[in-house]
Amino acid sequence: MDFKKLKFQTRQIHAGLDRHENTGSRGVAIYPTAAYRFKDCNHAARLFNLSEAGNIYTRLQNPTTSAYEERVAALYGGVGALAVSSGMAAILITVTALASEGDNIVASQFLYGGTYNQFRHTLRRLGIEIRIAGNDTPEAYESLIDSRTRAVFAESMGNPTCAVADLEAIARVAHSAGVPFVADNTFGAGGYLCNPFDWGADIIVDSATKWINGHGTAMGGIIVDSGRFDWGNGKFPCIDGPSEGYHGLNLREAFGEAAFIVKCRVDGLRDLGASPSPFDSYLMMIGLETLSLRVCHQAESTRRLAEHLRRHEKVKSVSYVGFEDHPYHALTKKYFRHGGSCVFTVELRGSVETTAKFVESLELAAHMTMIGDSITVVTHPASTTHKQLSESDLLAAGVTPTLLRISVGLEDVEDIIADFDNALSRIEI
């Protein structure tokens, strides 16, 4: 079926299902198997040398996971997707597929704390340099690009500041340097709020742990390939050149527009091993069926709660991209649909101590480090997700000591507002 003709809400339910599956089952089956029987030795050889697609071993491929990958690829309109065990694994596999020792990646300053650590510490130790742009203008990215740059990386909406990347401008800068633009679209909620492929991104990574799963029940990450980047420009011999791990096979010649996502599977998953559990892929499939409904509810509740808190005397400021005075309001309107964001940040009046007292006084909203969950979550980035950052890195990432990140859940927003009011009433300022 050509899913491009169908609306998002239809694709999130139908893509990845096999109508001719021989049990007649309505949904996808969970295949809890590590390995698959070969028909004969020739069949095995064809699978191993990539001349025939098929299941060998669940580290590389699993039918439940394939169905889930097909669904996500259809939602984003990509040529293919690869599911991995976490968002961090998706970023690691993507970056190491593109860059080798001595190469560099140019990245936005507004990064999730975990990404920051992977980039600044682990990848640096592997000899891949990450150059963080000094500000978010296209010129700031451009000035860091050189002949060893292999990608430009940005979060479509930064965690936790909600700074929106100027996707179109960044894609232009990356393409004029002959490198792909990789967008972490976790805040774009599986493509429902934002699809960076519409704006020139070449590769999407998404922490499926968040909105794709939507219920806080599993970890996962997904890489999606637009199929549009030209890997034949000489900068990517590991894609357009002899593959040492496959007897000199040229992935670009063998797999055409799907070369990158194939590489992530046959090298990235094979060698790094961050494969998802088939059961978790099943949970992601179920989560996706209601993605748009959940996100619409959450975006509307986010607006209500942000407006309510902005009027509260114990609140110093509310940073919500839906407010016209938000510095990223215009970019949100350009790149994000359906209400823009299900996350916003708040600074209370008072100190770090009163902020902690407020968090501990919430009864419904959970104090966790999570977003996109069906439960409303309040996070204190300075003491959790961004704890490993230095003070100057914290400020550069827009994280102040009393900042709270709020991810609005699926409860009735009236109850959440009452919970916040009650907790605010317990603090003295």
Ligand X SMILES: *Cc1c(COP(=O)(O)O)cnc(C)c1O
Q: Which residues bind ligand X (CB under 6 A)?
A: 86-88, 112, 114-115, 155, 159, 184, 186, 207, 209-210, 219, 221, 371
Residues 6+ apart with CB under 8 A from 185: 155, 156, 191, 194, 195, 196, 201, 204, 205, 206
Please say which residue, 86 or 355, places its beta carbon nearer to ligand X. 86
**Longest CA span, the chain:** 75
Closest chain position to ligand X (CB): 87
- How far apart (Å, rounded) are the C-alpha atoms in residues 63 and 112? 31
Comparing CA positions, the residue from 321, 317, 352 lying closest to residue 334 is: 321
Please say which residue, 239 or 408, places its beta carbon nearer to ligand X. 408
Q: Specify which residues 262 forms β-bridges with.
A: none
In the complex, minimum distance from the CB of residue 91 to ligand X, in angstroms, rounded to a whole number: 6
In the complex, minimum distance from the CB of residue 125 to ligand X, in angstroms, rounded to a whole number: 19
Alpha carbons within 13 A on the beta-carbon side of 132: 16
Please say which residue, 370 or 424, places its beta carbon nearer to ligand X. 370
In the complex, minimum distance from the CB of residue 153 to ligand X, in angstroms, rounded to a whole number: 11
- How far apart (Å, rounded) are the C-alpha atoms in residues 261 and 97? 9
Please state whether beta strands 315-319 and 343-348 pair in parallel, antiparallel, or not at all (unpaired). antiparallel
User: Quick check: helix, strand or coil at residue 163?
Assistant: coil
Please say which residue, 113 or 138, places its beta carbon nearer to ligand X. 113
Please say which residue, 62 or 186, places its beta carbon nearer to ligand X. 186
Comparing CA positions, the residue from 195, 258, 255 lying closest to residue 229 is: 258
In the complex, minimum distance from the CB of residue 220 to ligand X, in angstroms, rounded to a whole number: 6
In the complex, minimum distance from the CB of residue 314 to ligand X, in angstroms, rounded to a whole number: 28
In the complex, minimum distance from the CB of residue 112 to ligand X, in angstroms, rounded to a whole number: 4
Please say which residue, 90 or 416, places its beta carbon nearer to ligand X. 90
